[in-house]
Amino acid sequence: MLILARNPGESIIIDGDIQVKVLEVSKNGSVRLGISAPKHHHIYREELFLAIQAENRTAAEPVGDVGGLLELLPKK
C-alpha cells in the first residue's frame, strides 16, 4: 500500500488519467475526496463494491435440481 500525505486542494494522479483531489478535511478527521476519471472506469465506495461482488457470487451459484426444467424444453 502506498501512503501519501496531501492537504486540501492537492491531488494525486493515477495511471495518467485518474485524478483524486482532497477537497476537505473536517475537524472529526473525515476526508472529502473528488475523483475525476474517464467514464470507462467504474468507481465505487468499498462497501458497495463488496456488496456487488457478493450479489454476483450469489447469482452465479447453481440453483439446485434443474431436471424439471428439461421437461419444459420442446422435444425434437
Q: Establish if 72 belongs to a structural domain.
A: no
Q: Establish if 2 belongs to a structural domain.
A: no
The pLDDT value given to residue 37: 97
Instruction: Give the tens place of pLDDT for each residue, 23-51.
Output: 999 999 999 999 999 999 999 999 999 99
Q: Establish if 40 belongs to a structural domain.
A: yes
Question: Cell numbers 463488496 correspond to what residue?
Answer: 50
The pLDDT value given to residue 51: 97
Q: Establish if 29 belongs to a structural domain.
A: yes
Query: What is the residue range of 16's domain?
Result: 11-61
Residue 27 is placed in which grid cell?
475537524
Q: Establish if 6 belongs to a structural domain.
A: no
37-72 residues labelled b (16+ CB within 10 A) or e (exposed): eeeeeeeeeeeeeeeeeeeeeeeeeeeeeeeeeeee
What is the number of structural domains in the chain? Answer: 1
Alpha helices in 16-76 (DSSP H): 46-60, 67-70
Q: Establish if 53 belongs to a structural domain.
A: yes
